[in-house]
């Protein structure tokens, strides 16, 4: 008896016309489709959530474009594998190298690709679920077009379900009836592969005369329902609740919302990154150690991963929630940016300019600059802002012990200039 491949693999589209969703990329007249049909694709990064067609598009390119095609997975490949693929590519013309989950490559691995991309030895196709701005080094990213894939909408997922039940070689021989599909759609969260895997699991459990409804799907899925959908509205609602709980100094609520994200399979880097932002935005100089802890947390969870990362995330969340708060730095930069927009490019005072050449010195660049370290307390009163906003105070220290000390320091130095 022939062993069937998984339903998701059997249903994998073979042409762009078969691909569900992504019409903005693969529809008639779209940039990517035109490039594929012309067999002239640039190096590119396909960025999108799981199960929306990144690997499928790469496979279609491989079948459509008559050029050597090499494939690596960043989960298992190392620098040696990359160099071997590049060496093979050198023996041909216009070779394409597809790297799945390219965000998992470290800097050294990504750097190994750079020269081959620059010289045109390979055309790189990278697939990633993570923001390439953060996960792909800038030199490599600047040489690639980034195409963003969207989660599949409800209509596309329903059409995929119907196509699978009616058209799959195995399922069409059965008596399958889909009475309800909300549970299937909610659990899959826009992920076609997850949808088809769950459909297949439900049919295997219920038998060839399966009647699929929300109750049967929920039972099969064993309550692992998308109470937390990483791509949906609730994703943003829960991270919002998490941030606001920490801002409100409630460690109990913060840990609860953190647990919801962890149980939902949220990326540890996403959670830790938001805590780094929070430490600066909502705590700031009231407790500078908060930012240090948050940054160390981000680094630690990247090394440790789940499940032990839970402990590190919990420690940091509780620390941030119970720390003294201040948004004075956040307000200061917002006011300064408003001034830039309002007044435009105000001239730098001459005494602050960089006198890098003899000509600049003759133009009085740097003239009159008074070096603070030549004075008592390493300070001398001088003008550091443009004339038009010379007495404008952007930073107003918060009402906390640390910033009260900062306010006292500024008052002693600047007297009444900024109103401290």
Sorted by where each begins, the domain ranges of the chain are 22-148, 154-220, 233-321, 344-414
Does the pTM surpass 0.85? The reply is: no
| Helices and strands, counts by H and E, the chain | 20, 7
C-alpha to C-alpha distances, 410 to 240, 390, 405, 419, nearest whole angstrom: 35, 16, 9, 10
Residue recorded with tokens 């050449």? 357
262: number of CA atoms within 13 Å, CB side? 19
Q: How long, in residues, is the chain?
A: 420
Cα(193)–Cα(185) distance, rounded to whole angstroms?
12
pLDDT given for residue 336 in this prediction: 93
pLDDT given for residue 235 in this prediction: 67
Q: What is the CATH number of domain 344-414?
A: 1.10.3710
Q: What is the pLDDT along the chain (420 residues), one digit of tens a residue?
A: 356 788 888 888 888 888 888 888 888 888 888 988 888 889 999 998 888 889 889 888 888 888 888 888 887 888 888 889 899 988 888 888 999 888 888 888 888 888 889 888 999 999 988 888 878 888 898 989 999 988 888 888 998 899 988 888 888 888 888 888 888 888 777 788 888 988 988 888 888 888 888 888 887 776 444 445 555 556 677 888 999 999 999 999 999 999 988 887 788 888 999 999 999 999 999 999 999 999 999 999 988 888 889 999 999 999 999 999 999 999 999 999 999 988 888 999 999 888 888 888 888 888 999 999 999 999 999 999 999 999 999 999 999 999 999 999 999 999 999 998
- Residues whose CB is less than 8 angstroms from the CB of residue 8 and which lie 6 or more positions away in sequence, other chains included: 192, 193, 196, 197, 200
pLDDT given for residue 281 in this prediction: 94
Cα(406)–Cα(420) distance, rounded to whole angstroms?
10
- Residues whose CB is less than 8 angstroms from the CB of residue 374 and which lie 6 or more positions away in sequence, other chains included: 380
> Does 22-148 carry CATH code 3.50.50.60?
no
222's tokens? 């064993």
Q: In this structure, which topology does domain 233-321 adopt according to CATH? A: Zinc Finger, Delta Prime; domain 3 (1.20.272)
397: alpha, beta or left, given left = phi > 0 and alpha = psi -120 to 50? beta
Q: 71 has which bridge partners? A: 98
- Residues whose CB is less than 8 angstroms from the CB of residue 264 and which lie 6 or more positions away in sequence, other chains included: 226, 227, 228, 229, 230, 238
Q: In this structure, which topology does domain 154-220 adopt according to CATH? A: Helicase, Ruva Protein; domain 3 (1.10.8)
pLDDT given for residue 172 in this prediction: 85
**Strand pairing category for 211-212 and 177-178:** parallel
Cα(361)–Cα(366) distance, rounded to whole angstroms?
7
Helix 309-321, helix 251-263: angle, nearest 10 = 150
Cα(371)–Cα(192) distance, rounded to whole angstroms?
64
pLDDT given for residue 356 in this prediction: 82
Residue 16 carries which DSSP code?
A: G
């Amino acid at each position: 008896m022939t062993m069937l491949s998984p339903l998701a693999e059997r249903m994998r589209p073979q042409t762009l016309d078969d691909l569900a969703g992504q019409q903005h990329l693969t529809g008639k007249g779209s940039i990517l489709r035109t490039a594929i049909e012309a067999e002239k694709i640039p190096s590119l990064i396909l960025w999108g959530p799981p199960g929306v067609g990144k690997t499928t598009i790469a496979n279609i390119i491989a079948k459509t474009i008559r050029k050597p095609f090499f494939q690596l997975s960043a989960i298992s490949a190392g620098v040696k594998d990359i160099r071997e693929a590049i060496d093979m590519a050198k023996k041909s013309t216009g070779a394409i190298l597809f790297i799945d989950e390219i965000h998992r490559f470290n800097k050294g691995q990504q750097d190994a690709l750079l020269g081959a991309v620059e010289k045109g030895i390979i055309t790189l196709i990278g697939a990633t679920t993570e923001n390439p701005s953060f996960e792909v080094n800038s030199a490599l990213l600047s040489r690639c077009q980034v195409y963003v894939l969207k989660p599949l909408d409800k209509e596309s997922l329903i059409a995929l379900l119907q196509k699978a039940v009616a058209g799959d070689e195995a399922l069409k021989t059965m008596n399958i009836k889909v009475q309800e599909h909300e549970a299937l759609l909610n659990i899959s969260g826009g992920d076609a592969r997850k949808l088809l895997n769950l459909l297949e699991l439900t049919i295997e459990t219920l038998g060839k005369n399966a009647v699929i409804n929300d109750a049967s799907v929920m039972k099969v899925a064993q309550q692992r329902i998308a109470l937390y959908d990483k791509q949906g509205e609730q994703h943003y609602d829960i991270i919002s609740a998490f941030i606001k709980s920490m801002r409100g100094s409630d460690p109990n609520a913060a840990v609860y919302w953190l647990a919801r994200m962890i149980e939902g399979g949220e990326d540890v880097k996403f959670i830790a990154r938001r805590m780094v932002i929070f430490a600066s935005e909502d705590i700031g100089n009231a407790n500078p150690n908060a930012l240090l802890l948050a940054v160390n947390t981000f680094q630690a969870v990247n090394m440790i991963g789940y499940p032990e990362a839970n402990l590190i995330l919990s420690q940091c969340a509780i620390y941030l929630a119970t720390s003294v708060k201040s948004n004075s730095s956040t307000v200061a930069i917002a006011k300064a940016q408003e001034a830039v927009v309002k007044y435009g490019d105000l001239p730098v005072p001459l005494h602050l300019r960089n006198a890098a050449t003899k000509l600049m010195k003759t133009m009085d660049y740097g003239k009159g600059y008074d070096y603070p370290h030549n004075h008592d307390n390493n300070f001398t009163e001088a003008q550091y802002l443009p004339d038009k906003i010379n007495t404008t105070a952007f930073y107003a220290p918060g009402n906390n012990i640390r910033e009260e000390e900062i306010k006292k320091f500024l008052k002693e130095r600047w007297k009444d200039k900024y109103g401290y």
